Amino acid sequence: MVVQAPQQTPCMKKTTKETGDTAEHIAQGYLLEKGYKILATNWRIGHLELDIIAQDGEELVIVEVKSREGETFEHPTDALSEKKIKKIITAAEAWIQFHDWEKDTRFDLILVTILGTNNYELEHYDNAFNPTAT
């Protein structure tokens, strides 16, 4: 499955939300191509949100998607603050309890750099952070 970014006219600049939505769409397509099962997207509890909740074999995968338009990330750790990681873990714990998930869970990070219409770079980091390290 090839995921294409939505068309836009050359003079329009995307909003941060539009860039984020495009990146999440690209990340979902990538995960599906890799054989992941998407269980939920943009799952919310209170003010917390998980971008993508997927299953890779028997493992639950909580995926945080970070996006940029036209610029690359310095380093993967620059994309996530300690505060953001704690929020992701708290939301994941709620999802796990709500769905009685009893198998392994990992936290991945997908970085998407939008370079232009239908042109992007994607980097996927398995086990991007450890929930016991925060």
Contact status, residue 66 vs residue 23, Cβ threshold 8 Å: yes
The residue among 115, 113, 116, 119 whose CA lies nearest residue 2 is 119
Tokens 């998980």 correspond to what residue? Answer: 50
Mean pLDDT of the chain: 85
Q: What is the pLDDT of residue 71?
A: 64
Instruction: For the domain covering 16-125, report its CATH number.
Output: 3.40.1350.10
pLDDT of residue 46: 93
Kindly tell me if the per-residue pLDDT of 14 is higher than 70: no
The pLDDT value given to residue 61: 98
Closest among 14, 1, 19, 28 to 110, alpha carbons compared: 28
pLDDT digit string, tens, across residues 76-112:
567 788 899 999 999 999 999 999 999 999 999 999 8
Question: What residue segments make up the domains of the chain, in order of their start?
Answer: 16-125
Q: Say yes or no to pLDDT of 10 above 60.
A: no
The lowest-confidence range among 16-20, 47-51, 61-65, 89-93 is 16-20
